[in-house]
Amino acid sequence: MPRNITAYMKRVGDAYVTDAYHSLSIEGYRVSRELIERVRSNIWNPEANEQDGDSGMPWPSRVLAGLSGRSKKHGKVLSGQNPGLVADEDHGTWYREMFGRA
């Protein structure tokens, strides 16, 4: 476990765009760092922005957006809570965010 949770979470946030870019590119999605930042900033809109629609990533974008905020909330695991219980509690929310069933 990291000793300084704040510093650790900052590193996680700093690596977000690069990690998302590599993960989605490997899966075959046409993404750019700018697109990932738009998703992260919650301004991704395939109906209003043709580039967003051309990415071919409707549900991965939801995953990215959800994970961006969700990872910050999971400082509770880093604070010592049981990771299995945390995942069990949040699984339904993750699923709904991923597949757009809010």
pLDDT digits (tens, 9 = 90+) for 36-86: 887 777 777 777 877 766 666 655 655 665 555 555 566 778 888 898 998
Write b or e for each residue in 72-98: b if 16 or more Cβ atoms lie within 10 A of its Cβ, otherwise e. eebeebbeeeeeeeeeeeeeeeeeebe
Q: How many CB atoms lie within 10 A of CB 44?
A: 22
Phi, psi for 29 (deg, rounded to 5): -80, 145
Q: Report the pLDDT value the prediction gives residue 102, as an integer from 0 to 100.
A: 43
Rounded to whole angstroms, the Cα distance separating 49 from 66 reads 20
Q: How far apart are the first and last CA of the chain?
A: 33
Query: Is the pLDDT confidence value at 9 over 70?
Result: yes
Average pLDDT over residues 29-36: 80
Average pLDDT over residues 13-34: 83
